[in-house]
Chains A and B, each alone.
Chain A
Amino acid sequence: MRLSPDEMIFWQQGFLKLNGTIVFTWGLMFVLAVGSKLITRNLSTELKRSRWQNLLEIVVTGIEKQIEDVGLRHPKKYIGFLGTLFLFVALASLCTVIPGYEPPTGSLSTTAALALCVLVAVPFFGIEEQGLGGYLKSYAEPTIIMLPFNIISELSRTLALAVRLFGNMMSGTMILAILLTITPFIFPIAMSALGLLTGMVQAYIFSILAAVYIAAATRGRKARPEPMQDIQA
């Protein structure tokens, strides 16, 4: 039994391996990049537009609204990162309807890479927003005693992001394989439908959690007085 698409080897020469994870990841990247390039090639601002443009507009405005709801005030700045995370994870689990395909997010390498991107992006956006000193000071809040715990939580939540996505995707494939040996016909179909739902929820959760972490890192002293102004107005 295969635990992950890492063990699905298409081509090997010496220490160079082309396994399922790499092939499917590049396939998804190709589909996403070429698809959006083709659709955005002739955009129109008139009343009559193509179906595909409508689709992309729904996706982009939907992601933008979700990011704004989390508490990031300029969603356009973060949609490049968060939207890509969401679209990649969502498409990776959505494509499981294609026979012979295995989600690359079912490999710990992919999810660890995605979580490392989040680990790097959080200080990046935080420093950009608050400056280096302001961001580093947020580690020593509320007191300096909390400094080691804040650093530990930064690392452990990265691990949690990676293992959560990996575990959910891997368990979907694993349950399907086990059910195929016990009850071959109806139940695997029901479970793969459930797997599509879980994949969507996991994609949503991965990007929302990344957004929450970025929001926590960018929320400096400047942002706090805002509710008071609202009350006065």
Chain B
Amino acid sequence: MDNMTLIAIASIITAGLTIALGSIGPALGEGRAVATALSSLAQQPDAATTITRTLFVGLAMIESIAIYCFVVSMILIFANPFWNHVIAQAPGK
């Protein structure tokens, strides 16, 4: 296998692994956060606005970790710097 094939294989597999492994943690975290927020909403409906606002901000912070993984995998697939480098090096292609 030449360099191009190796880089393609590594990029595609890493992109899949990045988004797969990287979404496990945020998914568990968001589930816990929503479950806790729901039980505190049931206990104290008066504090609904504060709880909801804090929940939204917290969810966005947790979700941003998954978004980072998504951005990295998108870069690996659509804007891979190593792939572009090899393409630029290859003569007559």
Q: Taking beta carbons and an 8 Å cutoff, which residues of A are in contact with B?
A: 1, 3, 69, 160, 163-164, 166-168, 170-171, 174, 201-202, 204-205, 208-209, 212
CA distance in complex: A183, B8 (Å) = 27
* Chain B window 13-50, contacts with chain A (Cβ cutoff 8 Å), 1 for yes, 0 for no: 00000000000000000000000000000000000000
Query: Does B64 contact A204, Cβ atoms closer than 8 Å?
Result: no
10 nearest A-B residue pairs (beta carbon): A167-B67, A164-B64, A205-B60, A167-B71, A3-B78, A171-B70, A208-B57, A167-B70, A164-B67, A205-B57
Who on chain A is nearest to B71 by CB? A167
Do A167 and B64 form a contact, CB below 8 Å, given A1-B78, A3-B78? yes
> Is B68 part of the binding interface, using a Cβ–Cβ cutoff of 8 Å?
yes
User: Which residues in chain B, 73-93, are within 8 Å of chain A measured between CB atoms?
Assistant: 74, 78-79
CA distance in complex: A205, B67 (Å) = 15
The smallest beta-carbon distance between B16 and chain A, in angstroms, is: 15
Point out the residues of chain B lying under 8 angstroms from A69, CB to CB: 53
Who on chain B is nearest to A174 by CB? B74
Q: Taking beta carbons and an 8 Å cutoff, which residues of B are in contact with A?
A: 53, 56-57, 60, 64, 67-68, 70-71, 74, 78-79
22 interchain pairs, CB-CB under 8 A:
A1-B78, A3-B74, A3-B78, A3-B79, A69-B53, A160-B64, A164-B64, A166-B71, A167-B64, A167-B67, A167-B68, A168-B67, A171-B67, A171-B70, A174-B74, A201-B60, A202-B60, A204-B56, A205-B56, A205-B57, A205-B60, A212-B57
Point out the residues of chain A lying under 8 angstroms from B60, CB to CB: 164, 201-202, 205
Who on chain A is nearest to B66 by CB? A167
CA distance in complex: A3, B53 (Å) = 31
Point out the residues of chain B lying under 8 angstroms from A3, CB to CB: 74, 78-79
7 other A-B residue contacts (CB within 8 Å) besides A208-B53, A208-B57: A69-B53, A163-B68, A167-B68, A167-B70, A167-B71, A174-B74, A209-B57
